[in-house]
Chains A and B, each alone.
Chain A
């Protein structure tokens, strides 16, 4: 479940990155159609879609590698097409994979990219390599790095210019669970403590669910839904209950009688899953008690984004 809903009462933060009606064609095929969204300071914005949905093409337009056929990218209000240099000062990014110069050392890579940034980037090299836990290997060639280390070096590189927006394309790709957790924690720290807007693309629904505050779902080049992760989850998940009860069979019977359509016993003796509308839950619990069923726990179950995805895409495979 997402523990990172936008803080209640927080003022609405500044829009740092906005995509307005982005469209990109390759020949006859429209790879990205009319994609729009805003990313605000201090939030982690998920860009979710299956492979080939147009995520990377969209990202290429966001960072000026590809020119949109229609639409505008604004970074802190600056039109990327007109003000490329002034806009890109605020952007750090990894597009597709953390490709760095393998025949150079980690430090040389950072120096290389610091030279392409305003003064001050050079002074951040030490701190940033400590932040991504690479200080000890900084003078080794990147060719000797593991994929996780390359990903972290890529993030250090992206942070050199102390950007307002960090764009990460599939940061979890190819990483082991520990590596994924590290990146996830780092992303949260950057957003929560430094107020950086982080844009993360992923085809992993669990990834977005665990890291992001808001999400846009893209499929076949179109955004299908945009909103807080929790809200999207609630769209399909509000009536799911998970009960720890004994005896399970009798509880299932009671709940079925109560009008809950999909009662099922699962995961051993004492677990029952049920779909009961929110307003009828108290009655259902009273009925269980009356029937002599012991209730140890009742949980609202959040649906996974997989289910959200299935619903909003109308059952297209993920």
Chain B
């Protein structure tokens, strides 16, 4: 009756269902497609001008800007980092604008955090409880000498594990496939991060220069966190609706609404408190302008955490108290 045994049960059920293989397949196929399409597009763009010359020109412009003293101090910080970055690449004879395997993997974190990773989290979470109802096995599961809260906790733990593996696997496949197209080296290259949006413009005051591998871990960490939160919310819908199809449908509708809403109604600021608006945490972190004014990584993470926590509490209360009549 150890808790680890219960988690083992849930993992066994996860791994034996077809969806696990489907998710692996989706990731492999999708990332393969992206790499292929990008590599094709790049061949056409690159190679017109010698990048060495171009990079040296860029460095000269920045140095001029620094010398003539009209640059605001916050900008100067950014300019120095950017100079270092360009020099790093030039010294190693690497095109600073070229994609590397690691860079591709890093970029995948941002791209996937919008829809793909949350979607996969939903695929796992939607049937964690509802499948037991649909199969009728809930009647056996809840008539063992194990409290209902423990049963749900074991399911939550297994779900978290599945989501974690999915994010890791996605990153790994992105790196492997990206490496085939762009080479596997380049983890140590410096990247600038920590831009903050202030009003309409990017504020470079908090910019830092960190190694790509650190940046990548951070980005995947944020994508992982966002996916976990989505998983928790999907678990609640699974508990409430007791049907996998409706749970998945509801969560998909929410996801899609989340991608549409900021575009259609960017001035409605309250939407920054919706969980779907905050899924692209890696984006907010790397400093692309947020879709809604006032969104930051910190706020986004806090909003997501609050939603997830509330969903987990509600899921436990309903699961423990409700009669099983299915």
Contact = CB atoms under 8 A, between A and B. Distances in A.
Interface of A: 57, 60, 63-67, 84-89, 91, 93, 95-97, 99-104, 108, 112-113, 115-118, 157, 161
Contacts of B8: 115
B12 A99 contact: no
A66 B325 contact: yes
B143 A100 contact: no
A240 B146 CA distance: 52
A116 B5 CA distance: 7
Contact of B13 (A66, A89, A96, A104): A104
Nearest to B146: A116
B210 to A, nearest CB: 45
Q: Is the interface of B mostly helix, strand, loop or mixed?
A: loop
22 contacts: A60-B323, A65-B325, A66-B323, A66-B325, A84-B147, A88-B145, A89-B145, A93-B143, A95-B139, A95-B143, A99-B136, A100-B137, A101-B135, A103-B16, A103-B17, A113-B140, A115-B9, A116-B6, A116-B9, A116-B141, A118-B1, A157-B140
Given A66-B325, A117-B1, 12 more contacts: A93-B140, A95-B139, A95-B143, A96-B136, A99-B137, A99-B139, A101-B13, A101-B16, A103-B17, A108-B12, A113-B140, A118-B1
Interface string B198-242: 000000000000000000000000000000000000000000000
A87 B146 CA distance: 10
B46 to A, nearest CB: 49
A226 B322 CA distance: 31
A68 to B, nearest CB: 10
A117 B140 contact: no
A66 B321 CA distance: 9
Contact of B144 (A66, A86, A88, A97): A88
A95 B135 CA distance: 13
Contacts of B270: none
A117 B145 contact: yes
Nearest to A157: B140
B25 interface: no
Residue of A65, A67, A96 with most chain B CB atoms under a 10 A cut-off = A65
B323 A65 contact: yes
B145 A116 contact: yes
B324 interface: yes
A224 B146 CA distance: 35
B260 interface: no
Residue of A57, A115, A118, A157 with most chain B CB atoms under a 10 A cut-off = A115
A18 to B, nearest CB: 18
Nearest to B10: A112
A63 to B, nearest CB: 4
B136 A97 contact: yes
Contacts of B17: 103
A108 B14 CA distance: 13
